[in-house]
Structure 1
Amino acid sequence: MKVLTFGTFDHLHPGHLAFLKEASSNGELFISVARDANVKEIKGIAPDQSEGDRVLALKNAFPKANITLGDAQDYLKPVRDISPDLIVLGYDQKLPPGVSQEDLSCEIQRAAPFDPDIYKSSIRRKLIPRASPSGTSDIDN
C-alpha cells in the first residue's frame, strides 16, 4: 500500500517522527516536503531550514521512505504522480489550498496527536530563535 504524507518538517522533532512512523505502519511511505515559497505563502513565514536541509533530515531519519519536494504550483501533482492508496495527515493538518477531499481518489486518515502542547511546530517556532536578515538571531537583537 502506498502511503502519502505532506508537510514542512522544519526542525524535525519527536512529533514529526511519531507522525511519520504512524503513517509508515500502513505501508510504503512517500513524503512530499513543502517548497520554501509555498510555506511562506501558506503560513506567512518562511521555514528556518531550507527545503534541501529538510529533505536531508527526513532521508536520514527515514532512509527507506520515498522523499521528494512538492510542486511549486500544483499541490495535487504528488498525488497524481504517486497514486497513493492512503493519505495520512497530521492531527491538525489541513489539505493544501485549493485541494478538497473530492479531488482525492484515496482514503484520508488523521494521525494521532503526539504531545501537541510540546511538539506542535507553531509552539516550537516561538521557542527557537530565528535568524534575522543581518545573520544574528532574534535573541541577539
Structure 2
Amino acid sequence: MTHVIAQGTFDILHPGHAHYLRDAASMGDRLTVIVARRENVTHKEPPVLSNRQRRDMVEALAMVDDARVGHAEDIFVPIEDLDPDVIALGYDQQHDAAAIEEELARRGVDCEVRRASPRDARDDELLSSRAIADRICDERC
C-alpha cells in the first residue's frame, strides 16, 4: 500500500484544493492530509478558520482517508510518525522540494517528494482562499 501525505492551510476550501487532493490521492492508495496550524502559517496571512474546523472540512472530502493538524513546533514530526511513501506538494506551494528531501534523508525518512499538477481556472472560478475573501469583501462589505 502506498501512503501519500499532502499538506496545506486549507482556510477556505476551493476547486484548487480539490484538484490538489485528488491528484495527491491518485499518487497512492491512502491519503493523509496535514493541516497547518494557524500559528505556523507565516508565509501569508494566518487562516481565519480554526485548526479543528479546517481539519474537519478536509477530512470530510471523499478522497481524504485521514486529516490531522500539524505539529506545534516541528512540521516534520507527523511525517516521521506516519512514514509515508510520497509527499505530494501543491502545484503552487512555496516549498523547496530539494530542501524537504534533504531534511527527510537527514531524519531517516525514505519517501518521494512529488508536485501535484496545475489546475487552470474555469470560467469565473477562484482558486485561492485570498481571492475568495477579496471577492466577498468587494461584493458584501
TM over 0.5: yes
Correspondence for 1:26: 27
TM superposition score normalised by structure 2? 0.79
1:63-104 Cα shifts (integer Å, max 9, x gaps): 7511110001001111101111000001111338xx632112
Q: Does 1:121 align with 2:122?
A: no
* Structure 1 unaligned spans of 5+: 130-137
Q: 71-80 vs 99-108, which deviates more?
A: 99-108
* Percent of aligned positions that are identical: 36
Correspondence for 2:60: 60
The total of aligned residue pairs comes to 129
RMSD: 2.4
**Secondary structure, aligned partner of 1:29:** strand
After TM superposition, where is structure 1 displaced by more than 4 Å over at least 4 residues in a row?
138-141
1:49 to 1:60, Cα distance in 2 relative to 1, 3 A:
same
1:107 to 1:118, Cα distance in 2 relative to 1, 3 A:
same
**Secondary structure, aligned partner of 1:30:** strand
Superposition pairs of residues 1-141 of structure 1, within 5 angstroms: 1-27=2-28, 28-39=30-41, 42-62=42-62, 65-95=65-95, 100-104=100-104, 105-115=110-120, 118-129=126-137
* Structure 2 unaligned spans of 5+: 105-109
The AA in structure 1 aligned to 2:36 is A
**Secondary structure, aligned partner of 1:93:** coil
**Secondary structure, aligned partner of 1:53:** helix
1:107 to 1:43, Cα distance in 2 relative to 1, 3 A:
same
For residues 47 and 130 of structure 2, the distance between their equivalents in structure 1, rounded to whole angstroms, comes to 11
For residues 78 and 94 of structure 1, the distance between their equivalents in structure 2, rounded to whole angstroms, comes to 20
